[in-house]
Chain A
Amino acid sequence: MIKEKAEVVIVGGGIVGCSIAYNLAIRGVDVVLFERSYLASGATGRCGGGIRQQWSTEENIRLAMESVKIFEGLEEELDYHIEYYQGGYLVLAHTEDEVKQFKKNVSLQRKLGLNVRFLEADEINDIVPHLDVEAIGAIGATWCPTDGHANPFKTTIAYARAAEKHGAHIYKFTEVKGIKVEKGEIKEVITDKGKTKTKIVVNAAGAYSREIAKMVGVELPNKPYRHEILATEPLKHVLDPMVISFHDNVYFRQTEHGEVVGGWGDPNEPSSYNIESSFHFIVQMSRLLSRYVPKFRHVNIVRQWAGLYDVTPDARPILGPVEEVEGFIQANGFSGHGFMVAPMVAKLIAELIVEGKTSLPIESLNLKRFREGRVIKEASVVG
C-alpha cells in the first residue's frame, strides 16, 4: 500500500524528481515520489551525462555554475560513487557567426566568474589531441576545464537512496493516473496503486510533464523530441572533455568504464513520443565520429538507444508555481540539459516549497513568461 498522506508528492523518478525528493527530505518535509517505471528510466538514464556551464543566458550560466559547486561535493554528500569527472567541455566553432556569439558568451560567462576561454583553431589539439580539426572545419572553440560529466544512473540512484535515508518514500512502477483539484487547490494524487492526499505536487515527469499538467487543466508549451545516442566498446582513457558542436549537432565523451558515448540531433526530427532506435542515426553518427576522430574508425559500436528531450519554446526550463492551481509546482522543460542543472534546481525548488523564496531568482523561468511574451532563447543547445 502506498502512503495515505504526504506534504509533497513528486511525479517522476528521474534526476530532477529524485534530487528534489532529497532536498525536501533533508529539510524535514514528508515527501512521496511516484515513478511509473524504474528510476532514471526516462530521459535521465538515456542522456549523455554532460555537465556544462557554458551557456548564453545569465540564468542558465548561474544555475549551471551553482550545480557544479554541488556536483563537486556530491559523492561525499550522498556517500555514493557517481563517476563525476571534471574533464572540461570543448565547444567547437565552425563559422564566423559562431565565433562572434561564442566570444560574447565567454565575456558574459567570465563576468559571472566562470573559468572559460576562447581557443584559436591551432590550440584545439592541445586539449583533444585525436581531433581532426581541419577535417571538421573547426575555426575556434571555447574551453571550460571545470565542466565535466557523471553517470546519470548512479547520480539518480545516489539521490534516491539518500532521500529515502532521510525519510522520503519512493514508489517505483507506480503510475500517476489523476490529480484531484478542488477550488483551485490540490487534494490528492491518484495512482494505479492507490491514492495519496497532498497539497503540493511537483511535476518532474520530463517529456510527459505536459500530460501530468493536463490532469489539472494546465497547458504546458513543452514538446517531446526523440534524440538518439550510442556507446562504443570500452577503450583506454583517451578523451578528457566532452566535445560538442552546435554546428554539427553532435556531442561525445568517454565514460569512466571507457566507452565513448555520443549523440547527434537530427534537425528534421518531428515532435513525437517515439523512442525507437534508427539506422539513419547510426549511419550519421558513425560518419561524424570517424570524421571528428579518425582513430575511431575501427572502434565497434556496442549499443544505441534513444530518449526524449522535453523542449520549451525558448529551450529553458519551466520552474515554479502556476497561476491556475495552487501547489502545482513545475520542474520540467529542461530541453536536453536537465541532468546538469538538476542539483541546483532541486535546491531552489525545495527552498521555494519550504521557505517560499529562493536563493537564486527563478521568476524569469516561470510558465508565465510564455503568456507575457518575455522569451529570451537559449542559443547554446544541441537541437
Chain B
Amino acid sequence: MDSRIWQHPIIDFGERKGREIYFNFNGKPIKAYEGETIAAALYASGVRVFGRSIRFQRPRGWFCAIGKCSSCLMKVDGIPNVRTCITLVKDGMNVEYQDPRPNLPEKTEFECEHVKVETDIAVIGGGPAGLSAILSLNELGVDSLIIDENPWLGGQLIKQTHKFFGSKASYAGIRGIKIAEILLGELRKENVKSLENSSVIACYREGKGFKITAVKGHSTLYEIDAKGLLVATGAMENMLAFPNNDLPGVCGAGGVQTLMNVYGVKPGENALMVGAGNVGLIVAYQLAQAGVNVKMIVEAAPKIGGYLVHAAKVRRMGIPILTRHSIKAAIGKDHVEGAVITKLDENWNPIEGTEFEVEVDLICLAVGLTPSTEILMQIGCEHAYVPELGGHVAIHDKFLKTTLDNVYLAGDVSGIEEASTAMMEGKIAAATAAIDMGVNVEKAENLRKKSLHELELLRSSPFSKRVITGKEKVYSLMEEISCG
C-alpha cells in the first residue's frame, strides 16, 4: 500500500520528493523518500497505530504532527521515545514499536556536541510570527537567531494551500505556502542565523539575560546566551471529549493538513470534520482536493464559525455542513471505522433519538487551539486565563512586552488568531525589542507604528471582536501590574 499523493491541483509533490530510500520498521523494509518524517513515511505505507498508552495499552495514532502530542513515540536506532512526526527518516534506519514504558536503551556510546551561541534576541518558533519577527530584527540591525523544532521553518504556513485575506501588507491573495517561500527566501538571502530541527528544552534567567538550551537530534546541545527572548511558539490543537477519542484516525485538523500538504500523503478515504470554523472549513476543502471523500462537517454551534466564502466553497463541492450537531463517539477497534453523530439542543446537550452513524476512517478535530505558552510560563512571565484568546496567555501590552523585561511574544502564543495577524505581531514585537535595546530606534518606531495600524485594519472585521475583547483584558491586566 502506498497512499502518497502524486496528482494535486496546487502542489507538485513529484517535484518535492527526495531520493527513494528504505528503512526498517519492526524488522521489515519500508520505502520512503528523503525529506519525509518517519511517521509520514509509515502512514504512507499503511501504518495507523504508532504506539500504546501507558496505563491501558490503548492504540495511539497520528494526531498533531508537530511534536506536541507524544502519540507517535517509537524506538529509533535503539533510542526510545523519539518523536517520529518531527524526525526525518534516513536510509537504513531501524524503527520499532516501543513498550509505553521502554526499557533502558542498550546503547551507551554517546557523542554529543556542545555548541555555545551568543545573540541579542533569540526568537523561539519559526512560524509566521517568528519568521516575520526575525526578518524585522535583521532589518533593524539587531543581532538575532531563530530556533524551531520542526524539520522546516514556516510553521503552519507551509501547509496552507489557500489564499490569504487581509491587506497587501499581510500578503492578501497569496497562498500560505507561497508566503512561506517568500519569507524563507528573504531569510536565506539575508543570511539570518537559524537552528532548525532543534527543540528548546529549557530557559533560564541568568544575570540580566537568559540562557536557552536546545537539542538537535540526540547529538547536539546548543547553549544560547541571549539578552532578550521573542517567543512565537504558536499553539496546540484542542482535544474534544467523547468515547474513543484516542483511536488512531482521530486527528487534529492541522495534523492532517501537515500529512497531506507537507508530506503529500492521503490521510484516509472517508472523513468526518468536527468544527466549522475557518480551520475546519479550509481543511475539509483541502481534504477534498486531495481526493478524500468528506462525508460531512458537524458544528456544535447554531451558526458556521468561519468565513462564509470558505463555507460556500465547501458546499459547492457537495459537502454538507450540519450545525447544532456534534460527534458522540468514535467507532472502531484499532482504528476509526465510523462515528456516531448527534443533534444538540439549545443548551448544547445531545437530543436522544437523533443519533446516526457515518462510516469514516478519519475524524478530523477542528475545535480550536490552545496557546503553547510553556516557555513563557517556565521563565516566570505572569499569566492569565483568557477564554477569548484560547486559554492561558502571558500577560502583555499592545507592544507585545510581557511582565518580564526583555521578553516579548507574538502570534498564537499571545492569543489564538490568524497567520496574517501573527506576522504583524512579529513585526511589532521585533520593533519593541529594538527600541528597548536602543538599536535603530527611529526606524523601529516607524515600523511599529505602521504595523500597529495594519494590525488594527486586520482586526476591523466582526470576526475579530472576540480577540479584541481578550486582548483588552490582557492589556488592562498588564497596566495593573506595571502600576504595581
- Where the two chains meet, the residues of A that have a C-beta atom closer than 8 Å to any C-beta of B are 130, 233-238, 258, 276-279, 282, 290, 293-301, 304
Q: Does B103 make an interface contact (CB < 8 A)?
A: yes
Q: How far is the CB of A147 from chain B (nearest CB, A)?
A: 23
With A295-B104, A295-B108 in contact, do A236 and B99 touch (Cβ < 8 Å)?
Answer: yes
A sample of 28 cross-chain residue pairs with beta-carbon separation below 8 angstroms, ordered by A number, consists of A233-B81, A235-B101, A236-B99, A236-B102, A236-B103, A236-B104, A237-B101, A238-B104, A276-B205, A277-B202, A277-B204, A278-B204, A279-B206, A279-B213, A279-B223, A290-B110, A294-B108, A295-B104, A295-B105, A296-B104, A297-B107, A297-B108, A297-B110, A298-B78, A298-B80, A298-B107, A299-B104, A299-B105
A204-B202 Cα distance, complex, nearest whole Å: 33
Interface centre among B54, B99, B204, B205 (most CB of A within 10 A): B204
The reply to whether the CB of B441 lies closer than 8 angstroms to some CB of chain A is no
CB B95 to nearest CB in A, in angstroms, measures 15
B16 on interface, CB distance cutoff 8 Å: no
A276, A294, A298, A300 — which one has the most chain B CB atoms within 10 A of its CB?
A: A298
**Roughly how many angstroms separate A300 CA and B104 CA in the complex, as a whole number?**
11
Q: Judge whether B218 is part of the interface by a CB distance below 8 angstroms.
A: yes
User: Nearest CB to that of A296 among chain B residues?
Assistant: B104
Judged by a CB distance under 8 angstroms, whether B79 is at the interface is yes
- Given the complex of chains A and B, what is the CA–CA distance between A327 and B104 in angstroms? 53
Does the CB pair B101–A258 fall under 8 Å? yes
Which of the residues A236, A293, A296, A299 comes within 8 Å of B101, measured between beta carbons? Answer: A236
Report the minimal beta-carbon distance from A275 to chain B, rounded to whole angstroms: 11
Give the size of the chain B interface in residues (CB under 8 angstroms): 24
Which residues of chain A have C-beta atoms less than 8 A from B105's C-beta?
A: 295, 297-299
User: Which of chain A's residues have a CB closer than 8 A to the CB of B205?
Assistant: 276
Interchain CA distance A139-B79 in the complex, whole Å: 32
Interface of A is mostly: loop
B101 / chain A contacts, CB cutoff of 8 Å: 234-237, 258
Query: Judging by beta carbons under 8 Å apart, are B110 and A298 in contact?
Result: yes
Chain A minimum-CB-distance residue to B77: A298
Tell which of B54, B81, B99, B206 has the most Cβ of chain A within 10 Å.
Answer: B81
Q: Of residues A258, A278, A279, which shows the largest number of chain B Cβ atoms within 10 Å of its Cβ?
A: A279
Contact B103 A300 (CB under 8 A): no
Q: Write out the residue numbers on chain A whose beta carbons fall within 8 Å of the beta carbon of B213.
A: 279, 282
B193-229 interface (Cβ within 8 A of A): 201-202, 204-206, 211, 213, 218, 223
- B106 lies within 8 A of chain A by Cβ: yes
Q: Give A37 to B45 CA distance when docked, in angstroms.
A: 52
Question: Would A304 and B202 count as touching, CB distance under 8 A?
Answer: yes
List of A residues within 8 angstroms of B204 by Cβ: 276-279
Nearest Cβ distance between residue A233 and chain B, in whole angstroms? Answer: 5
Which residues of chain B from 80 to 132 have any CB-CB distance to chain A below 8 Å in the complex? 80-81, 99, 101-108, 110
CA distance A350 to B206 in the complex (A): 45
Question: B residues within 8 A CB of A298?
Answer: 78-80, 105, 107, 110, 218
Residue with the highest number of chain A CB atoms closer than 10 Å, among B54, B101, B110: B101
Could you tell me the distance between the alpha carbons of A234 and B206 in the complex, rounded to whole angstroms?
30
Task: Given the known inter-chain contacts A279-B211, A298-B110, A298-B218, please indicate yes or no for A235 contacting B206, CB distance below 8 A.
Answer: no
Expressed in whole angstroms, the Cα–Cα distance for A262 and B356 within the complex equals 53
A299 to B110, CA, bound (A): 11
User: Could you say which residues of chain B place their CB within 8 Å of the CB of A300?
Assistant: 81
CA distance A130 to B104 in the complex (A): 10
Rounded to whole Å, the gap between the CB of B437 and the closest CB of chain A is 23
Say how far A361's CB is from chain B's closest CB, in angstroms.
Answer: 45
Complex Cα–Cα for A213 and B244 (A): 55
CA distance A237 to B105 in the complex (A): 13
Give the residues in chain A near B104, CB-CB below 8 Å: 130, 235-236, 238, 293, 295-296, 299
Q: A236-B102, A236-B103 are in contact. List 10 more A-B contacts (CB 8 A).
A: A130-B104, A233-B81, A235-B102, A277-B204, A279-B206, A295-B104, A298-B80, A298-B105, A298-B107, A300-B81
B106, closest chain A residue (CB): A295
For B108, the chain A residues whose CB sits under 8 A away are 294-295, 297
Q: Which residues of A contact B54 (CB under 8 A)?
A: 234
Distance in Å: Cβ of B5 to nearest Cβ of chain A: 34
Q: How far is the CA of A296 from the CA of B54 in the complex (A)?
A: 20
Name the residue in A290, A297, A299 with the highest tally of chain B Cβ atoms < 10 Å from its Cβ.
A297
For residue B104, which residue of chain A has the nearest CB?
Answer: A295
CA distance in complex: A295, B223 (Å): 24
* B-side contacts of A278, CB under 8 Å: 204
How close is B166's CB to chain A, nearest CB, in angstroms? 39
Name the residue on A nearest B213 (C-beta). A279
Once bound together, how far apart are the Cα atoms of A276 and B207, in whole Å? 12
Complex contacts, B110 vs chain A, CB 8 Å? 290, 297-298
Q: Which A residue's beta carbon lies closest to that of B212? A: A279
Residues of A within 8 A of B102 (CB): 235-236
A300 closest partner in B (C-beta): B81
Q: Which residues of B contact A296 (CB under 8 A)?
A: 104
Known: A236-B101, A298-B218. A282 touches B81 (CB 8 A): no
Q: Nearest chain-B residue to A260 (Cβ)?
A: B104
Bound-state CA distance A237–B54 (Å) is 13
B residues in contact with A297, CB < 8 Å: 105, 107-108, 110
B380 closest partner in A (C-beta):
A276
- CB contacts (< 8 Å) of A130 on chain B: these are 104
By a CB distance below 8 angstroms, the chain B residues around A301 are 201
Interface residues of B in 155-204 (CB under 8 A from A): 201-202, 204
| Chain A hits for B106, CB < 8 A | 295
Residues of A within 8 A of B206 (CB): 279
Nearest A-chain residue to B112, judged by Cβ: A297
Expressed in whole angstroms, the Cα–Cα distance for A300 and B105 within the complex equals 11
Question: A282 to B103, Cβ gap below 8 A?
Answer: no
Residue of A nearest to B204 (CB): A279
4 closest A-B pairs by CB: A294-B108, A298-B105, A297-B110, A295-B104
The answer to whether B202 touches A279, judged by C-beta atoms less than 8 angstroms apart, is yes
* Neighbouring B residues of A279 by C-beta, 8 Å: 202, 204, 206, 211, 213, 223
A61 to B213, CA, bound (A): 42
- Kindly state the separation between the CA atoms of A213 and B105 in the bound complex, as whole angstroms: 50
Residues of B within 8 A of A304 (CB): 202
Q: What sequence of 0s and 1s flags, for each residue 29-73 of chain B, a beta carbon within 8 Å of any chain A beta carbon?
A: 000000000000000000000000010000000000000000000
Expressed in whole angstroms, the Cα–Cα distance for A301 and B80 within the complex equals 13
B218 adjacent to A282 (CB under 8 Å): no
Identify the closest chain A residue to B70 (Cβ).
A233
Q: How far is the CA of A52 from the CA of B288 in the complex (A)?
A: 63
Residues of B within 8 A of A236 (CB): 99, 101-104
Q: List, in ascending order, chain B residues with CB within 8 A of A234's CB.
A: 54, 101
Residue of A nearest to B99 (CB): A236
Q: B79 to chain A: which residues have CB within 8 Å?
A: 298
A297 to B211, CA, bound (A): 23
Closest Cβ of chain A to B344, distance in Å, is 37
In angstroms, Cα B111 to Cα A290, docked, is 13
Minimum Cβ distance to chain A for residue B73 (Å): 9
Minimum CB–CB distance for B270 against chain A, Å: 36
Report the bound CA distance from A236 to B101 in whole Å. Answer: 5
| A235–B103 touching, CB < 8 Å | yes
Chain B residues within 8 Å of A299, by CB = 104-105
| Cα–Cα, bound, A296→B99 (Å) | 17
Chain A positions within 8 Å of B202 at CB level: 277, 279, 282, 304
